[in-house]
């Protein structure tokens, strides 16, 4: 799995450590919400295996989608850059032609003033082209929250330049505008659905394994790690008590590591404090188990991967 998706190297191992740490922390509680919840050694091994294998289905996702770092693929970004180089050259040629026509039809004595005027106009146009490319480069960067230069991108996409033969070339094609207008993260709708399919792939793979009785729930635990308590998760849209305690643990561990991991290509890692604040907000909005999150924080389970000792 790590060879298939090197950009998330170590993720499954860290999630497994968080899950085991959280299960042990819950098991130690003698009062409160989880006073009667205990995990045997076999059950802890079960959640450990489920966590290690929770992303196994990524083998069924196209590699270019797995390792996509920005909103545009490298070849798409390169094509736009070449297009804007052409646009710059076209602007320069346009003003060179205007100056040449002036020289042919007017007195040379007045040319210096005209040339200065044309050069100023040309530089203004070139600055506009450079500003548009700057907006595109900025918009290509993924964001964790909904943000972007969407109105500016639409204005750029409406602009066209005339090619030899009269063909009009848009500054941005529709598919490029759609990708650059992604409001959160770096995946368009089709790519996101493909990434989300890894959960179903994981389940189909895991149910083929003849698990022994003590590990029989590994497929189900792993299958639900993107479900949310309010029913907004995937792939089954489970809610509330339909989601097992072990799966709720894995969901917290998975999100925390995704936020703090240093190896994600599409975003910078967050400090632990910021990541926990995001988890608290998710819990407040009833997507995560707030009681489990409190144990995760108060028992400092989130620090287990900081130690060199196991």
Whether residue 129 sits in one domain with residue 201: no
pLDDT value, residue 7: 60
Q: For residues 149 and 277, what is the distance between their CA atoms, to the nearest angstrom?
A: 27
Return the structure tokens found at 202.
Answer: 């994981």
Whether residue 198 sits in one domain with residue 155: no
pLDDT value, residue 289: 98
180, 215, 250: which is the final residue of a domain?
Answer: 180
136, 152, 180: which is the final residue of a domain?
Answer: 180
Got the DSSP string for the chain? -TTT-GGGTTHHHHHHHHHHHHHHHHHH--SSTTTT----HHHHHHHHHHHHTTTGGGGGS-HHHHT--SSS-HHHHHHHHHHHHHHHHHHHHHHHHHHHHHHHHS-GGGHHHHHHHHHHHHHHHHHHHHHHHHHHHHHTS-BSSS---HHHHHHHHH-EEEPTTSPEEESS-HHHHHHHT-SSBS--HHHHHHHHHHHHHHHHHHTTS---GGGTTHHHHHHTTT--TTS--SSS---GGGS-HHHHHHHHHHHHHHHH-TT-TTSPPPPHHHHHHHHHHHHHTTSS-HHHHHHHHHTTGGGGGGSS--
Q: Global pTM?
A: 0.80
CATH of the domain at 294: 1.10.3210.10
Whether residue 81 sits in one domain with residue 172: yes
Whether residue 202 sits in one domain with residue 112: no
Which range marks the domain in which residue 97 is found?
74-180
pLDDT value, residue 310: 46
Whether residue 92 sits in one domain with residue 17: no
Whether residue 203 sits in one domain with residue 62: yes
Q: For residues 103 and 115, what is the distance between their CA atoms, to the nearest angstrom?
A: 10
Q: For 153-195, what is each residue's pLDDT tens digit? A: 999 999 999 988 889 999 999 999 999 999 888 999 999 999 9
- Ranges of residues in the chain whose predicted pLDDT is under 70: 1-9, 144-148, 263-267, 307-310
Whether residue 27 sits in one domain with residue 10: yes
> 1 lies in a domain?
no
Whether residue 129 sits in one domain with residue 45: no
Looking at the structure of the chain, the number of domains it has is 2
> 135 lies in a domain?
yes
Whether residue 138 sits in one domain with residue 34: no
């Amino acid at each position: 799995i790590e060879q298939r998706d090197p950009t998330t190297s170590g993720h499954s191992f860290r999630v497994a450590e968080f899950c085991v740490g959280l299960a042990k922390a819950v098991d130690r509680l003698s009062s409160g919400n989880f006073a009667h919840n205990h995990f045997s050694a076999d059950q802890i091994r079960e959640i450990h295996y489920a966590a290690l294998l929770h992303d196994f289905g990524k083998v069924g996702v196209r590699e270019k989608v797995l390792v996509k770092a920005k909103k545009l693929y490298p070849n798409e970004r390169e094509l736009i850059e070449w297009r804007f180089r052409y646009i710059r050259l076209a602007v320069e040629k346009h003003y060179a032609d205007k100056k040449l026509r002036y020289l042919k039809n007017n007195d040379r004595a007045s040319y210096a003033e005209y040339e200065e005027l044309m050069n100023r106009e040309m530089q203004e146009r070139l600055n506009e082209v450079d500003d548009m490319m700057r907006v595109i480069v900025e918009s290509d960067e993924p964001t964790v929250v909904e943000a972007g230069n969407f109105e500016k991108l639409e204005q750029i996409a409406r602009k066209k330049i005339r090619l030899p033969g009269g063909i009009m070339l848009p500054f941005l094609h529709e598919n490029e505008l759609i990708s650059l207008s992604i409001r959160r993260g770096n995946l368009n709708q089709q790519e996101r659905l493909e990434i989300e399919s890894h959960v179903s792939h994981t389940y189909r793979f895991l149910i083929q394994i003849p698990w022994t009785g003590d590990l029989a729930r590994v497929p189900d635990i792993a299958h639900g790690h993107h479900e949310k308590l309010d029913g907004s998760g995937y792939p089954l849209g489970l809610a509330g008590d339909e989601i097992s305690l072990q799966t709720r643990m894995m969901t917290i561990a998975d999100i925390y590591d995704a936020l703090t991991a240093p190896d994600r290509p599409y975003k910078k890692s967050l400090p632990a404090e910021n990541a926990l604040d995001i988890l608290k907000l998710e819990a407040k909005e009833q997507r995560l188990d707030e009681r489990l999150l409190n144990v995760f924080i108060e028992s400092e389970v989130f620090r287990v991967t900081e130690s060199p000792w196991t």
